[in-house]
Structure 1
Amino acid sequence: MKTVLKPPSIFKKSLQILACSACLLMPLASHAERLKDLTSIQGVRQNQLIGYGLVVGLDGSGDQTTQTPFTVQSVITMMQQMGINLPQGTNLQLKNVAAVMVTSSLPAFAQPGQTLDITVSSMGNAKSLRGGTLLMTPLKGADGQIYGMAQGNVVVGGAGAAANGSKAQINHLSVGRISAGATVERAVATTLGQGDVIFLELKESDFSTASRVVDAVNARFGPQTAAAQDGRVIRVRAPASNDERVSFLGALESINVTPAQVSAKVIMNARTGSVVMNQAVTLDACAVSHGNLSVTINTQPVISQPAPFSGGQTVVAQQSQIEISKEPGKVILLKNSTSLADVVKALNSIGATPQDLLAILQAMKASGSLRAELEII
Structure 2
Amino acid sequence: MRWLLTALLVIWCSAANAIPVRIKDLVDFDGVRGNDLVGYGLVVGLDGTGDGLRNAPFTEEMLAGLLERLGTNVSDDAMRSKNVAAVIVTATLPPFARSGSRIDVNVSTIGDAKSLLGGTLVMTPLKAADGNIYAVAQGSIIAGGVSVSGEAARVVEGVPTGGTIPVGARVEREVEFDFGEVRNIRLALRNADFTTAMRVEDAINREFSKPIAVAQDSGTVLVEFRNLGEVNPARVVGRIENLLIEPEDRAKVVIDHKAGTIVMGERVRISRVAVSQGNLTLKVSEAPLVSQPNPFAHGETVTVPRSSANVTEEPGIGFAEVAGNTSLSQLVEGLNALGVRPRDMIDILKSIHAAGALHADLVVQ
What TM-score comes out, normalization by structure 1 length? 0.86
**Residue 156 (structure 1) aligns with:** 143
Structure 1 26/176 Cα, relative in aligned 2: closer, same or farther at 3 Å?
A: closer
- Tell me the distance in 2 between the aligned counterparts of 1:251 and 1:184: 29
Q: Is the 8 A contact 1:287 1:334 kept in 2?
A: yes
Q: Name the residue aligned to 1:188.
A: 175
* Aligned counterparts of 2:295 and 2:52: Cα–Cα separation in 1: 59
What 5-or-longer segments of structure 2 have no aligned partner? none
Change (3 A) 1:338 1:215: farther
Question: 2:6–2:259: 8 Å Cα contact kept in structure 1?
Answer: no
8 Å CA contact 1:61, 1:127 repeated in 2:
yes
Q: Distance in 2 between matches of 1:151 and 1:314?
A: 73
**1-structure distance, mates of 2:111, 2:350:** 43
Matched position secondary structure for 1:44? coil
Write the distance in 1 (CA, Å) between the matches of 2:220 and 2:200: 11
1:95, CA displacement in angstroms? 1.1
Equivalent position amino acid for 1:340 in 2: L
- The equivalent of 2:233 in structure 1 is 245
**More moved, 108-117 vs 225-234:** 225-234
* AA matched with 2:89: V
Over 3 Å counting, the alpha-carbon distance change for 1:106 and 1:284 in structure 2 is same
Stretch moving more, 194-203 or 164-173: 164-173
The one-letter code matched in structure 1 to 2:21 is E
* Aligned-partner SS, 1:158: strand
2:133 counterpart of 1:146: yes
C-alpha separation between the residues in 2 aligned to 1:164 and 1:310? 52
Q: Of the candidates 56, 79, 82, which is equivalent to residue 68 of structure 1?
A: 56
Q: Which position in structure 1 is the counterpart of 2:5?
A: 9
- The residue type equivalent to 1:44 in the other structure is V
Q: How does 1:226-305 map to 2 (within 5 A)?
A: 226-238=213-225, 244-260=232-248, 262-300=249-287, 302-303=289-290, 305=292
Aligned to 1:375: 363
Q: CA 1:255/1:324 → structure 2, altered by over 3 Å: closer, same or farther?
A: same
> Which residue, 57, 75, 82 being the options, matches 2:70?
82
Q: 2:44, 2:84 within 8 Å by CA — same for their partners in 1?
A: yes
Q: C-alpha displacement at 1:306, in angstroms?
A: 5.7
Q: Do 1:332 and 1:350's aligned partners in 2 also have CA atoms closer than 8 Å?
A: no
For residues 173 and 250 of structure 1, what CA distance do their matches in structure 2 show? 41
Contact preservation (8 Å) 2:6, 2:342: no
Matching of residue 117 in structure 1 with residue 117 in structure 2 = no
Question: Amino acid of the residue matched to residue 149 of structure 2?
Answer: A
CA–CA separation in structure 2 for the residues paired with 1:250 and 1:104: 27
Are 2:124 and 1:128 aligned? no
Matched letter for residue 254 of structure 2: I
After superposition, give the CA deviation of every residue in 1:327-362 in whole Å (9 maximum; x if it has no partner): 244221122344332132234345433333343222
Indicate the RMSD between aligned Cα atoms, in angstroms.
Answer: 2.9
The secondary structure found in structure 2 opposite 1:150 is strand
The Cα shift of 1:269 comes to 2.4
Partner of 1:32: 20
Once the two structures are TM-superposed, the CA of residue 7 in structure 1 deviates from its matched residue by 4.0
Say if 1:81 and 1:6 are closer, same or farther in 2 by CA, change over 3 A.
closer
After superposition, the Cα gap between the structure-2 partners of 1:61 and 1:339, relative to the gap in structure 1 and judged at 3 Å, is same
Of the candidates 27, 44, 48, which is equivalent to residue 56 of structure 1? 44
- Mapped to 1, the partners of 2:302 and 2:319 lie a distance apart of 51
Q: Percent identity?
A: 38
Describe the SS at the equivalent of 1:200: strand
Alpha-carbon distance change, 81 to 9 in structure 1, aligned in 2, over 3 angstroms: same
State TM-score, norm by structure 2.
0.88
Return closer, same or farther for 1:97/1:6 CA change in 2, 3 Å cut-off. closer
SS of 1:368's partner is: coil
User: Secondary structure in 1 aligned to 2:258?
Assistant: coil
Change (3 A) 1:187 1:241: farther
Which deviates more, 93-102 or 327-336? Answer: 327-336
Residues 320 and 184 of structure 1: is their aligned pair in 2 closer, same or farther, counting only changes over 3 Å? farther
Alignment partner, residue 319 of structure 2: 331
Contact kept? 1:290, 1:350, Cα under 8 Å:
no
- Where in structure 1 are there 5+ consecutive unaligned residues? none
**Residue deviations 1:168-208 (CA, integer Å, cap 9, x gap):** 44322111111110011111123633342121111111111
The question of 1:42 aligning with 2:30 is answered: yes
Aligned to 2:206: 219
Task: Give the superposition deviation at 1:234.
Answer: 1.1
Aligned partner of 2:84 among 97, 105, 114 = 97
More divergent stretch after superposition (291-300 vs 170-179): 291-300
Residue 235 of structure 2: SS of its match in structure 1? helix
Instruction: Show CA shifts across 1:272-315 (max 9, x none).
Output: 33322122211111111111232424244544546545799878
1:151 Cα offset (Å) = 0.6
Q: Using the alignment, how far apart are the partners of 1:92 and 1:320 within structure 2?
A: 65
Question: 1:205/1:302 Cα in 2 relative to 1: closer, same or farther (>3 Å)?
Answer: same
Counterpart of 2:152 (choices 147, 152, 165) is 165
Alpha-carbon distance between aligned partners in 2 of 1:297 and 1:77, rounded to the nearest angstrom: 66
Give the aligned length: 363
Deviation digits for residues 66-97 of structure 1 (CA, Å, limit 9, x no counterpart): 3322222222232333343344x637333111
Contact 2:272 2:324 in 1 (8 A): yes
Distance 1:189 1:6, change over 3 A: closer
